[in-house]
Chains A and B, each alone.
Chain A
Amino acid sequence: MAKEIHLYTPLKDENLEKLNIGDKVLITGTVYTARDAAHKRLVDLIEAGKKLPFDVKGQIIYFVGPAPARPGMPIGSAGPTTSYRMDPYSPILLDAGLKGMIGKGPRSKEVIDSMIKNKGVYFAAIGGAAVVMAQAVNAAKIIAYEDLGTEAIRELKVENLPCIVANDIYGKDLYEEGVRKNRK
């Protein structure tokens, strides 16, 4: 794998243009958590022409429902959930200005096309490596949908959150390429 690249939020096009699939990145700044239930609410708001609980422009959504934090810790275990369940919603959020998504597992053609169109990037985190991911979180705050419990939207302050570029803005797909190279 290539050398690690540092990325800071909000994401800028000029930095995303340099990313290629397979690049290891360390993300520092703010990321927002959302899973299925929160995505549905966000997209319902966009479709109703209403304001979102946070401005998605240039931001990253991390598909995660963390475990509860132990006392004195900012967050519990916090690895990625499977991304395809967010596929119906992601193009609408990318159209609204979202620039990055963190999850696990391949995305649909519609999401990949939308990432090309909107210059968005999908980052793969290691599913199951939830303590490793939690180590990179310095602070966590619920900013919307507290009633959803673990599925509430949280604003995470992260430092060097480790991810791999799975889909770049050029339409390349590490899932497709990685499997093709290793098939026998």
Chain B
Amino acid sequence: MREINVNKIVPIVKELCIDASIYIGDDVVEKLKEFQEKEESQIAKEIISIIFENHKLAVEKKMPLCQDTGVAVFFIELGQDVHLVGGDFYDAINEGVRQGYKEGYLRKSMVDDPIIDRKNTKDNTPAIIYLDIVPGDKLKITLAAKGGGSENMSEVKMMKAADGIEGVIDFVVDRVQRSGGNPCPPIIVGVGLGGNFEQSALLAKKSLLRPLNEKNPDPKWAKVEEEILEKVNNLGIGPQGLGGRTTALAVQILAKPCHIASMPVAVNIQCHVHRHKSAVI
């Protein structure tokens, strides 16, 4: 049994929050370049150039790429041979968020009550934390700080087996079409298939953690991803919804077994400011 003091987690979470907000992943940059070259619309090409300029300025000035620095969502993989000591694990994560959002000059976007009061909590807590127990004695913390604009364009649909793969593809493409310019395209389309109602949504979000330059390990789903990507980019929505061939940089599917009566499908839309970062303790 390996002991990890939760106080060790606080500065690590803090750094994850700050770094994810300022530095964009190489996988996203690569895809943006690839699509900019293929782009046929002049306005679309120029918008992608502005996105690159923004990346450069963010690093230079240590300012977040986007003012919406998101809800701090954490995927934790806790080794079963780890013993967490020194306090409450969830409190430590929230303390890291509190410090990161303050010291990084990141925006605090959480309200305490979703409907009636909607008072800002002023420190971007609480974080949303998912925990998986895995073999080993390591602790892996992955932050996916998710902005509101793209999250609002996400949806879960409980489909029928009779809808088939064609029905699923139509639903995903339609979801992107209805989103138009709202979620800040170029987007990444996360798709969760199967599980049940809530697991499909979680799968859609987790699918976004796969680097954009990695193919789906299952050739069956890799083919569906390519088909959806082509259809989505034929919609003409383009960067910011102002027209172009670059609506989505990637479609990423995660699938799980489900009930004989069900076929849950979830779409989680991610904007081009694709903030995710991991640390292993």
Contacts and interface: CB of A to CB of B under 8 A. Distances in A.
Interface stretch (A6-14, A90-98, A121-129): A121-129
Contact of B63 (A70, A104, A128): A70
Interface string B156-182: 000000000000000000000000111
Contacts of A178: 41, 43, 236, 238, 241-244
A114 interface: no
B46 interface: yes
B236 A182 contact: yes
Nearest to A75: B67
Given A126-B51, A128-B271, A184 B152 contact: no
Contacts of A151: 120
Interface stretch (B73-81, B104-112, B259-267): B104-112
B243 A131 contact: no
Contacts of A181: 41, 236, 243
A178 B238 CA distance: 8
A184 B42 CA distance: 17
Closest 4 CB pairs of A and B: A178-B243, A182-B236, A183-B236, A127-B184
A78 B64 CA distance: 9
B187 to A, nearest CB: 11
A78 B67 contact: yes
Interface string A14-33: 00000000100000000000
Contacts of B241: 104-106, 175, 178-179
Most buried by B among A76, A78, A180: A76
Contacts of B180: 105-106, 175, 179
B88 interface: no
A182 B38 CA distance: 13
Contacts, number: 166
Contact of B149 (A1, A127, A150): A127
A164 B43 contact: yes
Interface stretch (B54-62, B90-98, B137-145, B209-217): B54-62
How many residues of B sit at the interface, in one of the four size bands?
Answer: 35 or more
A148 B235 CA distance: 38
A132 B57 contact: yes
Best-buried of A84, A129, A162 by chain B (most CB within 10 Å):
A129
B66 interface: yes
30 contacts: A65-B67, A65-B68, A65-B109, A66-B67, A67-B63, A67-B67, A67-B107, A70-B105, A76-B64, A77-B64, A78-B67, A79-B67, A82-B148, A105-B182, A106-B180, A126-B240, A127-B271, A128-B184, A130-B63, A131-B61, A131-B65, A175-B180, A175-B181, A178-B41, A179-B235, A179-B236, A179-B238, A182-B41, A182-B236, A182-B237
Interface of A: 1, 22, 37, 64-70, 76-79, 81-82, 84, 104-106, 124, 126-132, 134-135, 148-151, 162, 164, 166, 174-175, 177-184
A163 to B, nearest CB: 11
Interface SS of B by simple majority: loop
Nearest to A68: B105
Nearest to B274: A128
B272 interface: yes
A149 B120 contact: yes
B184 A175 contact: no
A37 B118 CA distance: 9
B53 interface: yes
Looking at B68, B106, B118, B182, the one whose CB has the most chain A CB atoms below 10 A away is B68
Nearest to A129: B54
A176 B51 CA distance: 22
